[in-house]
Structures are given as C-alpha cells and as structure tokens.
Amino acid sequence: MNKETLRLIDANLNRLREGIRVVEDIFRYIFNDKTTSSKLKSLRHLSRLSNYDALLDTRDIKNDVLKSSTTSEQSRENLKSILIANFKRAQESARVLEEFTKLISIQESENFKYIRYELYDLEKSITLLKI
C-alpha cells in the first residue's frame, strides 16, 4: 500500500478514536452513564490496525493542507453540539476507514462498518438526554 493511502488511514484512525473519546468522556464524567461510556470505550479499542509502525511512519503533520481549524470547528453552542460534532466526526472517519481498509482486508473493513453502525445507534441516545 502506498504512503499516501497509509497516511489517510492514519489520519482517520486518529480522528475516529479522538471523536469517540470525546463522546465517551461526556457520557462517563458528565452523565455518569457506565453502559454507554463502556460501549464507546469498547468501540474505541476496536478502532485499531496492526500496522501501527507503518502508519506512524507516514504521519506528516507539517504538510497537512487543512490542519488549520475552520470557524465552525472553533465554536460550540452547548454540550449537545459537542456530542453531535464528535459523533459525526467518528462516523465519517469510520466510513473512510471502511472503504480504504478494503484494500487490506474485508475483515478490517467489516470491523469499521460495525463501529460506524454502532455509533449511529448510540447517537440516538442523545435525543433522550436532558441537555
């Protein structure tokens, strides 16, 4: 697999885990919801690939053409907007990983598809919250 593809996978793995972690911490520390935070933790731990060293070698922060934040990324209205933004970030990254890991293994691709659908389902839980 070429360096550019590995770089894309690395960036999306990071984005996926970061998005899940933000949501996980909200459910853990703000809502004290052990069930949901445990499920999110499990999904975050599933968000891995075995070729960590190869992925790390392709990381190129200095040349990331969109590393600057956009205006919409710099502000949040409330807790719900943080949850939505991070659910969406994680879901979108899971979709990218689902597609690009097809180049590696169908099993890896199906793993990211599973994560994406679990995130869709967990996202519904925010409609039940009083936020």
Tens of pLDDT, residues 61-76? 677 766 666 666 667 7
Tens of pLDDT, residues 8-17? 899 999 999 9
- Indicate the domain borders of the chain: 3-57+74-128
Taking the C-alpha atoms of residue 52 and residue 10, their distance in angstroms, rounded to an integer, is 8
pTM score, whole prediction: 0.86
